[in-house]
Amino acid sequence: MADRSLPFMLKLLTESPVNLSVAEAEPLTAQLRDFWADIANGDANFNFSTFPPAAREYFERFGAIEPIDNHCSIALPTS
């Protein structure tokens, strides 16, 4: 995923809702190289404090806001 993410991340940064210019977006793509892999790994905590506000808010929304309990049990009724 990471090896092929550059063109897609550049497009994501330059299109709505982020709308950065190509000149603003290109330096940020390297920091987003593993973005999709981190999401797939689960419970990622993203910190893009060096990004422009619109980009930072957009990408940080994909992170786990609160720790998630991956070891819960769900009791199902038996009949």
Per residue in 16-56, pLDDT (tens digit) is 999 999 999 999 999 998 888 888 887 688 889 999 999 99
pTM: 0.71
pLDDT at 11 (0 to 100) = 94
pLDDT surpassing 70 at residue 70? no
pLDDT surpassing 70 at residue 73? yes
Average pLDDT estimate for 62-74: 70
pLDDT at 79 (0 to 100) = 74
- Residue 66 CB burial class (10 angstroms; 0-12, 13-18, ≥19): exposed
